[in-house]
Structure 1
Amino acid sequence: MKKLLIGIILFSGGLTSKAQHDISLDVLGFAFSKYGLGYEYAINKNNSVGINFNMSSKNLFDDGISNNPFYALSDGEYDYSEMNIIPEYKAFFTPNKGNDGIYMGLYGKYRTSKASGNSFTDTTGLGSIGTTDVSTSGFALGVLAGYKWKTSGALFLEATLGIGKFLSNSIKYSNALAEDDASFDEDDYIPYIGNTLAVDLRLSVKIGIRIGGGGSSE
């Protein structure tokens, strides 16, 4: 039994050393209060699949203040949190050390967000002011392009630009009475560009480390 366990460990270690794993940190996101990690697995030297996870305390597509002047004066900047899970596929056209150089690909994005403590007018009574949290979730598909520069060691730098469209969006209020206030604009709290097209934009600059591989897997 002991020999079997040792054999499994050695075999697993051999697979791990041959597989190529890129782990990265989005350093550009720090400037926008967004903190993200990425993982990428090399299928071969020209293709990879990966997943990114990030969290943010700022809505990049809004100033964080209600468009209603009265609510803006009352609330100031709303408390905000956002989480994104982004699977992606990349095709590399100019690999030199394996999965580096110019690439294009596809991505999906699942997003959740929450804006807390937002004022609205309760129209069912005497026009009193209430507060509500606005929670959103959505799913987007898009295309991406970028460049990955791999050093002679384990480190790499990567820049990515992506554009997509949200195919679904849902909005929930912690206080349903907010839906009856015509001057309460839910679009203030949805993190995408354009109320009709619902465009998603991605921009990242990453620094990372490569584990395993060998730089020329077929």
Structure 2
Amino acid sequence: MKHLFTLLLSLFVFGAATAQVDAKINAGSAITWGVNVAAEFPFGQQTAFSVGAAYSSLGLLANEVDDYRYRNLRLIPEFRYYFNPRAGFDRFYVGGYGKLGQLTGTNRDTDESVDAARAALGILTGHKWVTGGGFVFELNLGVGRAATFGGNDNDAQYAAAIGALTAIDLRMGIIVGWRIGGGRHD
């Protein structure tokens, strides 16, 4: 956790020294009772790197008997290529993303919990709008492949909790934020 905080702090400090940073929050994360914040930094005329941190808490009925609450803390790096940007890095983009997270599944009936690490790699596409004053609105969608590590598949509790999770990683973003620095068309 200390290393994650240091990494995020370093990226935000680096971003403050660059000409343009988009500070964003994913309003769509509220669906899973979570929060997802990110900062996006340009490097080049049409490319950008984004790093985000997210926390979610979601209830899921694994089968007819087991009812689990999942808590997930994750780090999400992204690479984006923007086609024909007008105001810095905006408009239509495609890219790739990764996720690395710590997952805890807790059975709501017995309070037994299982911890695991979850990683994913995928592709994403979206569109970003930036107003003259710097307000950012973005919609995105992504799909990837996920894997879960750190447990014993032969353990019934692990299999019940983690086995309910799919190997497909889906993303949907409804993102709002603020552009700090250049690239605005005032």
Deviations 1:64-113 (A, max 9, x none): 234253xx4xxxx4343111211010000020101000000011110221
Partner of 2:58, secondary structure, is coil
Normalising by structure 1, we get a TM-score of 0.69
- Percent identical pairs in the alignment equals 26
Partner of 1:214, secondary structure, is coil
2:61 aligned partner: 65
Distance 1:187 1:102 in 2: 40
Distance 1:192 1:66 in 2: 8
Computing the radius of gyration from Cα coordinates, the structure with the larger value is: 1
1:186 aligned partner: 159
Task: Give the unaligned 5+ runs of structure 2.
Answer: 1-14
CA spacing shift, 1:91–1:192, aligned 2, 3 Å = farther
Q: Relative to structure 2, which stretch is displaced further, 110-119 or 97-106?
A: 110-119
CA spacing shift, 1:191–1:105, aligned 2, 3 Å = farther
The answer to which structure has the higher strand fraction is 2
Report matched runs for 1:153-168 at 5 Å: 153-166=133-146, 168=147
CA spacing shift, 1:42–1:52, aligned 2, 3 Å = same
Partner of 1:44, secondary structure, is coil
What RMSD in Å do the two structures reach over aligned CA positions? 2.8
Deviations 1:136-158 (A, max 9, x none): 21221111100000101111101
Shift, 1:33, TM fit: 1.1
Partner of 1:58, secondary structure, is strand
1:45 aligned partner: 45
1:169 aligned partner: 148
Are 2:37 and 2:52, in contact at CA under 8 Å, matched by a contact in 1?
A: yes
Are 1:21 and 1:41, in contact at CA under 8 Å, matched by a contact in 2?
A: yes
Task: Give the unaligned 5+ runs of structure 1.
Answer: 1-14, 120-129
Distance 1:108 1:191 in 2: 21
Deviations 1:142-196 (A, max 9, x none): 1110000010111110111111112x421437xxxx82x4xx5725435743xxx
Distance 2:182 2:164 in 1: 37
Normalising by structure 2, we get a TM-score of 0.79
CA spacing shift, 1:40–1:211, aligned 2, 3 Å = same
Partner of 2:30, secondary structure, is helix
1:92 aligned partner: 82
Shift, 1:204, TM fit: 0.7
Amino acid across the alignment from 1:172 = G
